[in-house]
Amino acid sequence: MLTTYMVLTCNRKDDLKKCLDSIIAQKDSTFEIVVVSNNSTDGTAEMMEKLYPSCKYIEVGYNSGICTGRNIGFSHSQGDIIVVLDDDCEVADRDFNSKLQKKMIENPDWGILSFHVINTRSTEYKGVIPSKDKSIVNREVEVTYFPGGAHVIRKKLLEEIGTLPDEYFYSMEELDMGYRVMSTHWKIYFTPDLWVYHHESPQSRPSWRRFYYDFRNRIWLTTKYLPVKYIISQLILWGGYTFLKSIRYGYVKYFFRSIRDALQEIEKYKELRRRYKLDGNAIQRLKKLNGRLYY
């Protein structure tokens, strides 16, 4: 089995170096590394050429966003399994790759495996546990979604259900893929055994992008996949939450812009709904696994 480690980066050269060094330090060398740069201008390209000549380095030339950037990485990946890491992450130990391959070989129906993400600047783990039930932190358990910057996905799954939605740019792409998985035989699992350190940069104020893309994409996502009662529930609850936070941080105009722009493209998602709306079996699977339906 070959593992691809795929890292999307943009102007975080120092973080990227730590990430790549943690991968290269693996005892098991059955892996390749693919780095996709979203138009970095901080010397990333020069560092890659000098220090990591064996890595595949793809310079996009513009900020393609999370979804397109990772899709470009997928297209250059030769591995049977593809580890997707944020550029400010590090794998926690030198046996990570061998442990990962063992799990994926022993569990051939696992399409996606979510890692245990440890935020090195916070003791709060709940935000990166892919379940409404945060008590799963110490259990290996089936879930319905995963953290985008710390998981592994089988290439066979991507070939079957497709890659990330380019038009999202960023945000909600994990839920989109998670919903598609629910209509297949593949499973998404969380493991507490494979740790990834996340050196998340502290922010005093979230970006406007969080308010805009989160809610615009949620309108598209719910329209594409969910029965009407869940669309109404999610948009009321998340809409109210996002609106109140946008007032707090002074981004109200971006919240309303997200609604405007989502509605301008809504006919496309109504059409996609004919193909992708979750059937009764997928909905029951989501309920059984405590997945995201009402919110």
pLDDT, tens digit, 9 for 90 and up, residues 105-122: 999 999 999 999 988 876
One domain, residues 186 and 264 = no
Do 84 and 65 sit in the same domain of this protein? yes
DSSP string of 16-74, one letter each residue: HHHHHHHHHT-S---EEEEEEESS--SSHHHHHHHH-TTSEEEE-SS--HHHHHHHHHH
Among candidate residues 151, 171, 198, the one where a domain is terminated: 198
Report the amino acid identity of residue 57. Y
Residue 163 sits in the same domain as residue 66: yes
- Write down the pLDDT at residue 224: 98
Yes or no: say if 73 and 34 are a contact pair by the CB < 8 Å rule: yes
233 with 284, same domain: the answer is yes
- Say which CATH number the domain at 62 has: 3.90.550.10
User: What's the mean pLDDT in 169-195?
Assistant: 96
Q: pTM of the predicted model, to two decimals? A: 0.94
User: What is the domain count for the chain?
Assistant: 2
pLDDT tens digits, one per residue of 143-176: 999 999 999 999 999 999 999 999 999 999 999 9
Range of lowest pLDDT (79-93, 202-216, 239-253, 270-284)? 202-216
The last residue of one of the domains, among 175, 198, 221, is: 198
294: in domain: no
What's the mean pLDDT when you consider all of the chain? 94
141 with 254, same domain: the answer is: no
pLDDT at position 203: 53
Which pLDDT does position 136 carry in this prediction?
Answer: 85
Residue 288, token pair as written in the block: 């059984």
Q: Which residue segment(s) compose the domain that 231 sits in?
A: 208-288
Evaluate whether 107 touches 188 at the Cβ level (below 8 Å).
no
Q: Is residue 174 part of a domain?
A: yes
Residue that is last in its domain, among 180, 198, 216: 198
